[in-house]
Amino acid sequence: MAPFEEFGEKPGAHKGHAYGAASVTNALSGANFPTTKQQLIKEYGQREIHWTKDHAEKLKEVLEKLPHDRFETMPDVVEAIGEMGKTKRQ
């Protein structure tokens, strides 16, 4: 038995929750592409996301940090989030 099973817990997000890039894509559900960073901020920026399990913030705070101003598709947003993470680690 894994240690977490003893307490009835499982690792990762609780059912219905997402963190990081997954939380961003959930919050942007319904967005029309292509679009701009400013349009995403205007339409979705006030939504709250959970970047990590214990860290909630407005989507605007994440979108403003993205290195691109235009996105053709949702995968482009996810790629920009990945680039943002690489820049942070360097």
Q: What is the pTM of this model?
A: 0.77
pLDDT, position 37:
98
Q: What is the pLDDT of residues 45-75, one digit of tens each?
A: 999 999 888 889 999 999 999 999 999 999 9
> Does residue 48 contact residue 56 with C-beta atoms inside 8 Å?
yes
Question: How many CB atoms lie under 10 A from the CB of residue 72?
Answer: 11
In whole angstroms, give the CA distance from residue 25 to residue 7.
Answer: 31
Helix-strand-coil percent breakdown of the chain, rounded to 5? Answer: 45, 15, 40
Give me the phi and psi of 13, to 5 degrees please: -70, 150
